[in-house]
């Protein structure tokens, strides 16, 4: 909640990032910089907006939490007029009791006499004096302090229980008092006007009668106008059980893990600042929206939160945490999942699992769904997944994965092998990741120690476990009418261990072939310093040279794409062996083809398994290697 509040302060001030109960702050918006009130997302479940009114005048604004009976924040304009702290009784808010009561704040005894009600009835809607009697180690802490008001009436107006939180006594009289009296005076010396918002973070305890919440933290943010062009801002925060106040920037304040229950997002802070001051800049918003999500897309999403893929809580430095607050790192996430099991996984399970790790590599992703939000601009993901690999020193030691459906507060922690097998359809895009050798073996570790041993044994002996040789073939729509079977391509979903091994083999085979003199010059794909464009130019020269000499020329084009699928595995292996590839896991490749079987998956229905005796499966990263090797001497046969 705090971060969404700070967004308003930051965007309208600079990036350093009643009293009367009302339905909006329209009557007292002068206490907010440029009259911009905080976002609705800041609000507690049962709120009250109070334009704090005393003696027929408004003096500051308060957002009040009816359930916890404390203010969320008070907004005011800083002033240091003459006058001592007034001796006045404590006020309460009549209109919190009944909207027809007087607008001005009043004392409990006066309200009891006027409206013939009891203190208990007043206390049903707000804190009362009895709540704060006989407190130990706690004082009545002002959010809008009397010392920051310039007139006697304004000072008196701060003595309302809707402006008070239970504050640690030592903090109230010590470091927080020093900030309010000394630090604020120093920081505002050259300010013409200073807008202040001071708030409280709800805690997990209440005062002894269990009616009023004791905040865990108290914070304050200020925006100072030096002149028309120059502005400055600052913030402070204090834990409500220590006599310490930390001075920091607004940006640092919003990055604090203290406020993990809320979020601040700003795609382009400088643009947002200019847009609030110069209407001409607003046209740039359309250009931004054309390429990415913007703040507007995530406003007023029902049942969804802004879910981090790279969460700020997984970073140590402030700059790193701040860098996670970008909309390019965000997906619409189910609210119950966001605050429930996924949060538990990120902040409880992850620290437990990564204990003892020197380095932990994490990849977190989202599976695109079938629905959109924000007027069709933002895709709502169907699943959110995460995979982690732990290194002790330079050695991978353990790894794990997790996945959750984005409409349930449930998360499953599992090996990546189980993840791939369980969620074949939604995790297709995970298979397209290109892994470095270290990441490849980390993924093998995700399969568990037995699978890692099997992978190493497979590499050395060429023996393929049966589970690795089974593949699923599923149709994927390309374009056009979905009823036309010709508009589908067959996608081969091989097992994860097989794909990892294929990546490793591909890197080694490519390195060997590109330096091999046995590859004919026309095979441009694996030769250094050549390209498809160079191949096309060479072909064009051969085609036009006879024409230039006055001779006829004919070209015959053959498409071997689909016919390659009919070539037996034995022929393919013989061709590869002729190029000296047996040194590079040829035994593994031969055996993987000999035992390969596949089945068809359509709408969750699968066929029986059938052996594949020819060609390479579509989608295999090794498919181009045997094709180029097989066609290497094709030009000699034509000649």
For residue 538, being part of any structural domain is answered with yes
pTM exceeding 0.85:
no
Report the C-alpha gap between 548 and 328 in whole angstroms. 56
SS3 539: helix
* pLDDT at residue 529 in the model: 61
In a domain, residue 278? The reply is no
Same domain, 267 and 301: no
What element of type H or E holds 105? none
- Indicate whether 456 belongs to any domain: no
| pLDDT at 498 > cutoff 80 | no
CB atoms within 10 A of CB 52: 29
| Cα-based distances in Å from 624 to 367, 434, 612 | 28, 16, 18
- Could you tell me if 110 and 59 lie in one domain? yes
Dist. CA 633–CA 306, nearest whole Å: 56
One DSSP character per residue, 406-469 reads TTSS--EEE-HHHHHHHTTTTTGGGGGPPPPHHHHHHHHHHT-HHHHHHHHHHHHH----HHHH
Task: List pLDDT tens digits, range 215-225.
Answer: 999 999 888 88
CA distance 397 to 115: 72
The answer on 514 and 577 residing in a single domain is yes
Note whether 67 and 44 are within 8 A (CB).
yes
pLDDT of residue 418: 65
Same domain, 616 and 514: yes
CA distances from residue 113 to 110, 381, 543 in whole angstroms, order as listed? 5, 58, 107
CATH number of the domain where residue 394 is located: 3.40.570.10
* Res. 139: pLDDT tops 90: yes
Q: Is residue 460 assigned to a domain?
A: no
Structure tokens that stand for 313 in this block: 């809580």
Q: Are residues 68 and 214 in the same domain?
A: yes
DSSP secondary structure of 598-620: EEEEETTEE---EE--BS--TT-
Query: At which of 271, 303, 333 does a domain end?
Result: 271
Q: Which residues of 436-458 are buried (b: 16+ CB within 10 A; e: fewer)?
A: eeebbbbbbbbbbeebbebbeeb
Nearest to 618 by CA among 531, 490, 511: 490
**150 with 191, same domain?**
yes
| Segment 89-125, tens digit of pLDDT | 899 998 888 888 887 888 999 999 988 999 889 998 8
Helix (H, G, I), strand (E, B) or coil at 523: coil
Residue 557, helix vs strand vs coil: coil
Whether 541 is in a domain gets the answer: yes
Which of 420, 454, 482 is at the close of a domain?
420
User: What is the C-alpha to C-alpha distance for residues 431 and 344, in angstroms, rounded to an integer?
Assistant: 27
pLDDT reading at 214 higher than 90? yes
CA distance 330 to 490: 32
Q: What pLDDT is stored for residue 180 in this prediction?
A: 93
The answer to whether residue 424 scores a pLDDT higher than 70 is no
Residues 89 and 157 in one domain: yes
Q: What is the pLDDT of residue 178?
A: 95
Whether residue 492 sits in one domain with residue 413: no
3-state SS of 24-71?
Answer: CCHHHHHHCHHHCCCCHHHCCCCEEEEEEEECCEEEEEEEEECCCCEE
Nearest to 397 by CA among 350, 356, 455: 356
Asked whether the predicted pLDDT for residue 145 surpasses 80, the reply is yes
Is 10 a residue whose pLDDT tops 50? no
**Residue 218 burial (CB count, 10 A):** 23
pLDDT digit string, tens, across residues 230-266: 678 888 999 999 999 998 877 667 666 555 334 432 3
For the stretch 425-441, pLDDT in tens is 443 443 333 334 444 55
Percent of the chain beyond pLDDT 90?
22
User: What is residue 241's predicted lDDT score, i.e. its pLDDT?
Assistant: 93
**Domain extent for 413:** 295-420
**Which residue, 249, 324, 265, is CA-closest to 16?**
249
SS3 404: strand
| Domain-located, residue 347 | yes
Residue 580 above 80 pLDDT? no
Are 45 and 159 members of one domain? Answer: yes
Q: Report the C-alpha gap between 525 and 514 in whole angstroms.
A: 8
Using alpha carbons, list the distances in angstroms from residue 368 to 298, 332, 428. Answer: 17, 11, 10
Residue 216 lies in a domain: yes
One domain for residues 395 and 471? no
Q: With bands split at pLDDT 50, 70 and 90, how would you rate the model's confidence at 420?
A: low
Task: Write down the pLDDT at residue 565.
Answer: 66
Mean pLDDT of the chain: 75
What pLDDT shows up at residue 413? Answer: 86
Inside any domain, residue 437: no
Does the pLDDT at position 280 exceed 60?
A: no
What pLDDT is recorded for position 267? 23
Predicted pLDDT of residue 512: 62
| Count of the separate structural domains present in the chain | 3
- Kindly state whether residues 333 and 375 are assigned to the same domain: yes
* pLDDT digits 0-9 by tens, 512-568: 665 554 456 666 655 656 667 777 777 788 888 888 888 888 877 776 656 666 777
Of the residues 420, 445, 478, the one at which a domain ends: 420
* Residue 233 shares a structural domain with residue 146: yes
Q: 596: Cβ–Cβ under 8 A, 6 or more apart, which residues? A: 469, 471, 611, 612, 617
Tokens of 586: 């040829």
Whether residue 332 is predicted with pLDDT greater than 90 in this model: the reply is: yes
From 161-165, 295-299, 342-346, the region with the lowest mean pLDDT: 295-299
């Amino acid at each position: 909640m705090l971060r969404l509040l700070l967004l308003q302060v930051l965007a309208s001030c600079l990036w350093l990032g009643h009293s009367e109960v009302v339905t909006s702050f329209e009557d007292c918006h002068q206490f907010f910089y440029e009259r911009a009130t905080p976002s609705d997302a800041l609000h507690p479940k049962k709120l009250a907006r109070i334009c704090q009114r005393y003696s027929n005048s408004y003096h500051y604004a308060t957002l009040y939490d009816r359930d916890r009976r404390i203010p969320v924040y008070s907004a005011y304009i800083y002033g240091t007029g003459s006058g001592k702290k007034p001796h006045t009784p404590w006020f309460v808010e009549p209109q919190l009791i009944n909207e027809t009561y007087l607008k001005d704040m009043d004392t409990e005894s006066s309200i009891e006499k006027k409206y013939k009600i009891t203190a208990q009835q007043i206390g049903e809607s707000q804190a009362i004096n009895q709540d704060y009697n006989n407190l130990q180690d706690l004082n009545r802490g002002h959010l809008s302090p009397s010392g920051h008001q310039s007139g006697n009436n304004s000072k008196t107006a701060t003595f309302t229980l809707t402006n008070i939180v239970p504050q640690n006594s030592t903090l109230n009289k010590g470091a927080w008092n020093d900030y309010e009296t000394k630090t604020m005076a120093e920081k505002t010396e050259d300010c013409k006007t200073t807008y202040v918002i001071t708030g409280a973070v709800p805690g997990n305890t209440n005062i002894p009668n269990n009616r009023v919440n004791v905040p865990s933290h108290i914070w304050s943010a200020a925006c100072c106008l030096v002149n028309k062009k120059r502005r400055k801002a600052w913030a402070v925060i204090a834990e409500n059980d220590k006599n310490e106040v930390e001075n920091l920037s607004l940006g640092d304040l919003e990055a604090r893990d203290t406020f993990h229950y809320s979020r601040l997002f700003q795609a382009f802070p400088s643009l947002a600042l200019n847009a609030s001051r110069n209407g001409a800049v607003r046209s740039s918003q359309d250009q931004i929206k054309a390429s990415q999500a913007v703040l507007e897309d995530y406003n007023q999403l029902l049942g969804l939160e802004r879910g981090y893929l790279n969460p700020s809580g997984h970073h140590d430095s402030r700059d790193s945490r701040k860098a996670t607050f970008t909309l390019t790192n965000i997906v619409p996430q189910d609210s119950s999942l966001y605050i429930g099991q996924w949060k538990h996984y990120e902040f409880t399970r992850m620290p437990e699992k990564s204990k003892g790790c020197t380095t932990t590599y994490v990849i977190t992703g989202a599976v695109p769904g079938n629905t959109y939000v924000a007027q069709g601009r933002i895709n709502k993901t169907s699943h959110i997944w995460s995979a982690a690999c732990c290194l002790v020193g330079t050695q991978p030691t353990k790894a794990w994965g997790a996945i959750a459906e984005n409409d349930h507060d449930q998360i499953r922690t599992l090996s990546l092998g189980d993840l791939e097998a369980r969620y074949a359809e939604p995790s297709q895009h995970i298979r397209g990741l290109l892994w470095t050798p270290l990441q490849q073996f980390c993924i093998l570790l995700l399969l568990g120690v037995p699978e890692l041993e099997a992978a190493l044994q497979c590499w050395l002996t060429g023996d393929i476990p049966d589970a690795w040789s089974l593949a699923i073939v599923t149709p994927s729509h390309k374009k056009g009418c979905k009823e036309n079977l010709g508009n589908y391509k067959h996608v081969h979903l091989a097992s994860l261990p097989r794909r990892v091994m294929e990546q490793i083999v591909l890197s080694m085979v490519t390195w060997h072939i590109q330096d091999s003199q046995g590859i004919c010059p026309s095979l441009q794909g694996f030769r250094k310093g050549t390209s498809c464009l160079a191949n096309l130019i060479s072909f064009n020269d051969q085609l036009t040279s006879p024409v230039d000499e006055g001779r006829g020329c004919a070209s015959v084009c053959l498409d071997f794409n689909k016919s390659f699928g009919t070539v037996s595995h034995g022929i393919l292996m013989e061709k590869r062996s002729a190029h000296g590839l047996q040194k590079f896991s040829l035994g593994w490749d031969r055996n993987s083809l000999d035992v390969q079987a596949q089945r068809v998956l359509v709408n969750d229905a699968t066929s029986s398994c059938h052996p594949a005796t020819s060609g390479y499966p579509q989608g295999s990263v090794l498919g181009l290697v045997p094709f180029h090797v097989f066609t290497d001497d094709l030009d000699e046969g034509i000649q």
